[in-house]
Structure 1
Amino acid sequence: MSAVTSAAQEESQRDLQFHARVISTFFMAFLIISFPLLLFFCLHRRQKANKESSSLRLAPGPPGLPIIGNLHQIRGLPHRSLHQLSLAYGPLLRLRLGSVTALVVSSPALARDIFKTNDLALCSRPNLTTWRHLSYGGLEVALSPYSPRWTRARRLLVVHFLSPRPVRGLSASREEEVRTLMNTVAAAAASGRTVDLSKSLICLVCSIMCRAVFGKRFAPAGECSMNEIGGMIFRTAELLGEFVAGDFFPWAHRWLNAVTGVQGRLERNFKEWDNLFEREIKERERTGTGGGDDGTYASVLVRLLREEQALDVRRNGHNGGDNGMGYGGAT
C-alpha cells in the first residue's frame, strides 16, 4: 500500500514539475515576443511625436525617456527642478510627463500674456483623478473645470457667501475662535507644554469653517484642538499633493491607481466627507433647523435650493427635476 502511495506522490510531483516548466516556458516566450512589440510601439509613438513637433512651432524642452518622458527629471522639490530646467532651456519649457505634455512658464511677462490675453483658452483646471473624485465628478467650484455651470456656481458663491454682508455676519464667530486659540496657547505656555503652531492654526481654520458652514464647533468647548474635520482635511491635503501615476498615463489610469493604492485612499476619504455631509443634513432635518436662515452656509444653500425648485415648478409646471446647478448629493 505504501509503495502505491509513494508512486502516486512521485507521479503527482512529476506532473507539477512538468506544469511549472510549461508555465515558465510560456512566460519567457511571452516576454521575448512582447518586449520587441513594446519597443516598436514606443519608437513608433516617438517618431510620430517628432514628426508632429517638426511641423509645429513648439517650445524647447529636454529629451525624455521612452514611456515616462521627463518624469525622471522632476525630483525632490518640483519647483526647483523646473527652475533648473528653465535655466537650461529658457522661460518657456515643454515637458513630456508620461503621456501628458506640459508647458512650464517661468517668466512673469509671458505668464501675464498667457493668462490675460489667452485666458479663455487656458483658464480651465486639469481633469485630475483626485480633484474629480473629491468634487463629486467636478461639481465643486474650486476643483471643477471651466464651464457655463462653473460660471453660474461661482457667481452664487461670490454673491451669497463671499460678499461683504455674509462675511461681516460671521465676524463674531471668527473673533471668538481667535480668542479661543490664544487662550489655548497661553494655557499651554503657562503649564510648560510645547505648542505646534502649524496644527494650532489648522485647528483655527477648521473651527472657523465649521462655524461658518454648520453653525457649530466640532472641538471641545473652550479649546482649539484637532477634531474630526481637522484630520479629514489633513488626509485630503495629502491626497491633493500626492503623485498620482494615472494622471500621467490616462490610458492605464484605472489599474495604476488601483495598484498604487490611490483609489482606495480616495474612496475612504470621500466616504468620510460624504458621511459627514449626510449626517449634518439629517441632523438639521431632525432638529428642524433646515428651514430657517441662520446665516450659516448650510442654511443659505438650503434656501437657494428651495428657491430654485420653486422656480422650476413655476417654469415647468411640475415638482423636482434637475435645477441645472447640481445641488444634489453624490451619484
Structure 2
Amino acid sequence: MDNLFHPTGHEIKLPNIVSGQGSYVFDEQGKRYLDLEAGVWCLSLGHNHKHVNAAIHEQLSKISHTGFCYASSISDQVAGALLAQFALAGGRCIFLSSGSEAIELARSIAKHLTGHYNTMTLHDSYLGAYRSLRDRETGWHIVNWSGLDDNEECDPVSTLPAEINAFIFEPGSASGAVRFPPKRLIHKLASRVRSCGGLIIANEVTTGFGRTGRWLGCDHYDLSPDIIVLGKGMGNGYPVSAVLMSRPIANALAERPLQYSQSHQNDPLGAAVVSAVLHELRQQDLVQHGRETGYRFFEWLKEMVDGRIVQDVRGRGAMFAIDLIDSGTAASLHQALLDAGYIVGLRGRTLRIDPPLIATLSEIRGFAERLAQLI
C-alpha cells in the first residue's frame, strides 16, 4: 500500500492497482474495486476495453507516429468525423496529447487572430497544468460568479475590458468541484466577448464525450463555440486531445497562418483510439445510458442530504459531487469507501463521483446503498 497524505493531515491508504476490466480495477491481492472516478474522468468505456485495445494493436502494426511534417490518412478521417459530430464540418481539427497543451493552443489561436492580450474565464475553472494557464495575474480577466444563479440579477459584463481575445468556458467541472454556472450569465459573457471580436472556447476536456449526459457540456447552455477542446474521455485512458475549430476560424488561420508544432501532433495511433471510442459511444448509445443512470443516481444522492453530515449534492449526467460537513469527515468517508471496494475522488470536503458511462444501474445502486450506510 502507498500512502497519500491529504492536505488536512489525514493519511489515506491507496491500493496498488495491477489490472482492470470494465468498471472495475483489481489490486495485487486480487481485491476488486468499482472505479467511480473513471481514471479521473478518462475512462468513458471503462478499463481494458476490447475494441479500443484492438484499435491500438491494429494501428501499432502499421504506424503509430508520423511527426508534424507528414500527412496521415487516419488522422484526417477521424478529424472529419469529430468535426461532423460536433457540427463543425468544414472546420479544422488538430490532435495533441493532453488537455493542457490543447487549451494552450486554443488560447494562442485566439490571441493570434484577434491581436488582443486578455483572456476571460470563470474564477473556478481549471484550464491546465501550464503556468501560462494557472498564473492569472496578467493576461487574464477573471469573472467570479460565486453565489449567482439564474434567478439573480447580475451584471459582470459592465466590468469587462473591451479587448478580450476569448472566453474560455468550462461548463461544469469547476476544478473538480462540479459546479454549473448560470445559463443567463454565460450567455451575457459570450455575447459581450463576441461583440468585441473575441472567440468562444469551450473547454470540454473533462465534460466532453458524454460526461454531462450530452455529447458536450456546453450543449446544456445552447452555446455554439468557435473552438472546442477535447481530451480525457475521448481517449479512454490513452493520452490524446484535440482542438476543433469552426469553418470561419479555420479560414481565418488559412489567411493568417499560426506557426505551431508538437512532436505528437496528429499521431495516427491517437486518432485510431479516438475513432474506436467515438464508434463505441454511438453504437452502444452510451451518452443516453449515462444520462439515464446518472438521473437515477442523483435522485438517490439528494435523499442523503441531511444538513448534518451531507451538506449538498450536485450532478449532471455522469458527474457528481457530495459536500460533507468538513474535510476530515470527507477523508474518513473516502477511506471507508475504499475499504469497501469503491474508488471515488476527494477534494477538500467534497467527494467526486464520475463513473464510466458503461456502469450499470445495478452497480450504481449498490454503491448508493453502501454510501448511505456509511453516512
Relative to the length of structure 1, the TM-score reads: 0.24
Greater share of residues in strand: 2
Greater share of residues in helix: 1
- Kindly indicate whether structure 1 or structure 2 has the higher relative contact order, using CA contacts under 8 Å at least 6 residues apart: 2
Relative to the length of structure 2, the TM-score reads: 0.21
